[in-house]
Amino acid sequence: MEEKASKTTAATNNKTTATAKKPRAKSAGSGKTTTSKKSSATPKTTPRTRRKSSAKPAVSVIIPVYNMADFIPTMYERLVDGLKEYGKTGEIILVDDASEDSTWEVLQEIAKKDKSVKLIRMRNTFGEASCFDAGLKNSEGEVVVYAAARVRADLFGIAGLLKKLDEGNDLVVGWRWPRKDSELNQKVSRWFNALVHRLGNLKLNDINSSIFAARRSMLDNVTFYGDLNIFLPLLAHGKGYKVVEEKIEQMPGEFRQSKYFGDYINRLLDFITVIFLTRYSKRPLHFLGFIGMILTLSGGLMSAYLFVYRLFGFGAIAGRPLLLLGTLLLVIGLQMISIGLIGEMIIYTHAREIREYNIETVVGQ
C-alpha cells in the first residue's frame, strides 16, 4: 500500500512540473506574454466607431411624387444643390404614391448613384398626406423639409427655408413666388389664405403651398391626421410655435387641375375642423351650443309670435311658412345643444389625456 501511494504522489508531482514548464503564449508582433486568450482579444468595434455609424443626418427631405418621371431628375439636381448651399448633411426620402408611369424606375436609378437617397413605394395611391406620414416615420433628421413634387418648386430654395429656421423659428412655410400655375389657382389660393388669416389669426401668403421646413420637436408635439398636414402652420401657431414664411420660386410646367374644386371643398371642411380643434377641443358646447342657442331662440320667438297671433284670433296659422320655419329652427337648435352636451360628457371622461397648451421652457426646481 505504501509503495502504491508513493507512485501516485510521484505522478502528481510530474504533472505539476510539466504544467509549470509549459511556455506562455506570446501575442503576435510583440515580446510580451499573455496569460489567457480573453485578455489578448481586441474588440472589433471601438466606441468611436459606434458613434460614427449611428450619426444621424441633420436634415430629412420628404418628397411625395406621382407620375412625374420627367420632372424628377431636374428636381433632384436642384435639391442636391440646395443642400450643398445650406452646408449640412441630409437624407432625401422620395415617396412614390403608386405612380403609373416610369417614375419608380427613375427613382431607382437615382438611388443607385446616391446613397443618401431613400425610396418608399406605396402599394396604392393614398395621397400626399399618407406619403408624408410614411416618409416622416422613416426619417431621422432633427429638421424635416416637406415639398410636394406636384407644385414644381425650385428646391434650391430650401436652403433659404433652412436658414430662416436657424434664426430661431419653428416652422418656415414656402411662399411660391413668382407663381407659374394658372390664374384661377392663384385667385382661389388668395381667397383661401385671406379666410385663414381672418378666422385663424395667422397671416400667410401661401399656407397651402405644400412646402415647409420644421423642427422635429415641433412635429412631435402637434397632432395632425388625414389631410390636416396642409394646415400644419395653423395648428403649430395655435400651440404657440413661431411660424414664418420664405419665398421659393416655382418652376414652369404642367399642373394638375382635374380635382381642383373638389380639393378646395375638402380643404374648406378641413379648415373648419382645424378651427374647431384649436379653439373648442375641450369645450364643444361653446361652439355647438352658441349656434344652437341662436337657432333655438329664433325658432322660439317665431313660435311664440304665432301662438299669440292665433290666441287672440288674428287669423289662422296652419300652413304658414313661418310656422314651419320656427318649428324647424327650434328642433335643430335643441339638437345642436344636445350634441354639444354629449361632447362635453365625452371630453370630461378624457380630459386628463387632452393638453391644449405647450411649454417652451421651465426654470428652477
pTM: 0.75
> What pLDDT shows up at residue 252?
86
- CB-CB contact of 99 with 66 (8 Å): yes
Looking up cell 361652439, which residue turns up? 287
Q: What is the CA 201 to chain-centroid distance, rounded?
A: 22
Mean pLDDT of 344-360: 79
Answer yes or no: CATH 3.40.50.1820 is held by domain 54-280.
no
Least confident of 25-29, 299-303, 353-357: 25-29
- CB-CB contact of 62 with 146 (8 Å): yes
Condensed to tens digits (0 to 9), the pLDDT of residues 301-333 reads: 999 999 999 999 888 888 889 999 999 999 999
Condensed to tens digits (0 to 9), the pLDDT of residues 227-252 reads: 888 899 999 998 999 999 999 999 98
Alpha-carbon distance 152 to 185, whole Å? 14
> What pLDDT shows up at residue 138?
96
Contacts 24+ apart (CB under 8 A), 361-364: none
Residue 263's CB is within 10 A of a number of other CB atoms, namely 16
Q: If pLDDT is split at 50, 70 and 90, which confidence band does 365 have?
A: low
Condensed to tens digits (0 to 9), the pLDDT of residues 59-84 reads: 999 999 999 999 999 999 999 999 99
Phi-psi label, residue 292: left if phi above 0, alpha if psi -120 to 50, beta otherwise:
alpha
Least confident of 10-14, 274-278, 285-289: 10-14
Looking up cell 384661377, which residue turns up? 184
Which one of 6-10, 20-24, 343-347 scores highest in mean pLDDT? 343-347
Q: If pLDDT is split at 50, 70 and 90, which confidence band does 216 have?
A: very high
Q: If pLDDT is split at 50, 70 and 90, which confidence band does 254 have?
A: confident
Could you give the maximum distance between any two Cα atoms of the chain, in Å? Answer: 144
Mean pLDDT of 80-94: 95
Q: If pLDDT is split at 50, 70 and 90, which confidence band does 44 have?
A: very low
Opening angle at CA 36, ends 32 and 39, nearest 5: 75
Answer whether residue 9 shows pLDDT above 80: no
